[in-house]
Homo-oligomer: A and B are copies of this chain.
């Protein structure tokens, strides 16, 4: 870094890669289209051609672009549209996009409610909870990692049930919860944690969309609360206002 980039802590090639990725995501370059030549990109970002090559190499490795020697580099991509609404079911959303939804249990354990969790779930502090960490995929692409807490009184052994049915909707159905809805949803963003990066097959330093939500039953009684981390590069949330 002999020129600008003054200590941002993010390598130049990474900034270029993110810039190109954004151009693709925003539709400046779309599927099948040819990117500008490496020399031209280098001029645009005012960096060395080698830096551009490194950026393109990482994008190619992730399957976003494909380089053809002597010809050019071409776009190869698409994002999952994810509606945030009152009835949010991962499997329905993914299925609607013509892809196969999958759930995968990472861990299930007993836990006790922190004051914060207790408030969200309408329980007393230190109430017994079941904590489920699960990875959700569309086809073979990891979409998000979610940590879910349920009251242990109402949903004993929810972890074992989830492992078998691989769907939170089905877990609730197993406990005779026929219908439920999203009571609150908070969206924020951050940088992926190391453990999540591995689960999501995401490079360190990549952005994640963070969704904290609580679901309630027909009589507005809290059922579960979830802290989910989505690979930002693979989804786009649709907020539907009524």
Interface residues of A (CB under 8 A from B): 5, 8-11, 13-15, 17-19, 21-22, 25, 27, 58, 84-86, 116, 181-191, 193, 203-205, 207-209, 232, 235-242
Closest B residue, CB atoms, query A9: B14
Name A237's contact: one of B19, B25, B187 (CB within 8 Å).
B187
Q: Which of A85, A191, A207 has the most CB of B within 10 A?
A: A191
Is the beta-carbon distance between B232 and A189 smaller than 8 angstroms?
yes
Give the distance in Å from the alpha carbon of A241 to the alpha carbon of B58 in the complex. 38
Is the beta-carbon distance between A188 and B19 smaller than 8 angstroms?
no
Give the distance in Å from the alpha carbon of A183 to the alpha carbon of B203 in the complex. 35
Is the beta-carbon distance between B22 and A13 smaller than 8 angstroms?
no
> Can you spell out 22 A-B residue pairs with CB atoms less than 8 angstroms apart?
A8-B203, A9-B13, A9-B14, A9-B17, A9-B58, A9-B203, A10-B191, A14-B205, A21-B190, A27-B116, A84-B187, A86-B242, A181-B241, A182-B241, A184-B241, A185-B241, A188-B235, A189-B207, A189-B208, A190-B207, A207-B232, A242-B242
Q: In the assembled complex, how far is the CB of residue A105 from the closest CB belonging to chain B, in whole angstroms? A: 23
Is the beta-carbon distance between A204 and B10 smaller than 8 angstroms?
yes
Q: How many copies does the complex hold?
A: 2
Name A209's contact: one of B13, B84, B183, B189 (CB within 8 Å).
B189
| CB-defined contacts of A203 to chain B, threshold 8 Å | 8-9
Give the distance in Å from the alpha carbon of A181 to the alpha carbon of B21 in the complex. 32
Closest B residue, CB atoms, query A58: B9
Q: Which of A19, A189, A203, A208 has the most CB of B within 10 A?
A: A189
| CB-defined contacts of A14 to chain B, threshold 8 Å | 8-10, 205
| CB-defined contacts of A27 to chain B, threshold 8 Å | 116
Name A22's contact: one of B21, B116, B183, B190 (CB within 8 Å).
B190
Closest B residue, CB atoms, query A239: B185
| CB-defined contacts of A184 to chain B, threshold 8 Å | 238-241
Please judge, given known A-B contacts A8-B205, A188-B209, A205-B10, whether A241 and B193 are in contact too, CB under 8 Å: no
